[in-house]
Amino acid sequence: MKKRLIPPLLAALLLSGCTQAPVREEALHILCTTYPVYLLTTDLIQGMEESEVQVELLVNSQTSCLHDYSLTVKDMKAIERADIIITSGTGLEDFMADALAASAAAVIDCSEGIDLLPAPEHADHDGHDHEEEYDPHYWMDPGCFLQAGNNLRQALTEFVTPAGPSAEYQLPAPTGLPGELSCPYLITFHDGFQYFAQAHGLTLLKAIEEEEGSTVSAQEIKEIVALIKEYDIPAIFVEKNGSRSTAEVIARETGCKIYELDMLMSGDGTGIRPYFDAMTANRAAVQEALQ
């Protein structure tokens, strides 16, 4: 029989005297809803045989926003066979709330105890309001991402003995933004970069949520152009694989450059290394753009 949700913090208390997970006779099927938690999970189960644990990624899409994501037949089958479903939490998986409620799988929320930022107030350009209480993109702050990893380690111990790093995740040697930037201000075309900005001592002046096929208003463009001129901003940032149309309009009008930042909503790597590679690339892009 499959077990219901045990929050990571409660699991940590229950397991304080346990060092060994129960032995299973068949492979444990783990379904990760998003790429960041998939990277954490595959890092923690490294070295384990496929006959012991099988890990699957549900959403590996270039879409920057999951509000309008629709579960496919393949997705529903993956949810049905899962013993454990690992979520990012903070409302990011609202698109599959009904499927989660109907599933017999245990659900692990990796966001337990993380100091979350309020969700930006905005509406989609197609007229759909976003009503999250918190910004769900906490993994863009390396400290929050590693805390999610430690939450996951504690929760997984109920089911398996993680074969990844034996100690808690720790922040690596500082690889932040060296020296002083001449312009410590970000203008981005996704509102999920406020964790990244906070973690690196930057100010997110403006964020536009631009989806493919949507239109940013002339007023919003005018506001961004005014900010670029007021703060003498040399570059603006689009999300990797995201729309560039409005950014290109603004670049032509102001002469600023366009750089890409990776939100890590998709990828083909496993383990924790792809995350740190992406964050290093993001920091390098900011350093080059705003020096």
The tens digit of pLDDT for each residue in 103-123 reads 999 999 999 999 999 987 654
Compute the average pLDDT of residues 170-181: 64
- Clarify whether residues 142 and 196 are in a common domain: no
Residue 172 to residue 112: CA distance in whole angstroms: 22
Number of domains within the chain: 2
Residue 158 to residue 168: CA distance in whole angstroms: 16
Residue 174 pLDDT class (50, 70, 90 cuts): low
pLDDT at 178: 59
- Clarify whether residues 191 and 144 are in a common domain: no
Residue 234 to residue 257: CA distance in whole angstroms: 6
Domain boundary among 139, 156, 173: 156
- Clarify whether residues 25 and 152 are in a common domain: yes
- pTM confidence score: 0.85
pLDDT in tens, 200-210: 999 999 998 77
Domain that holds residue 269: 185-290
Residue 62 pLDDT class (50, 70, 90 cuts): low
Answer yes or no: is 173 within a domain: no
The CA-to-CA distance between both ends of the chain, in Å, stands at 57
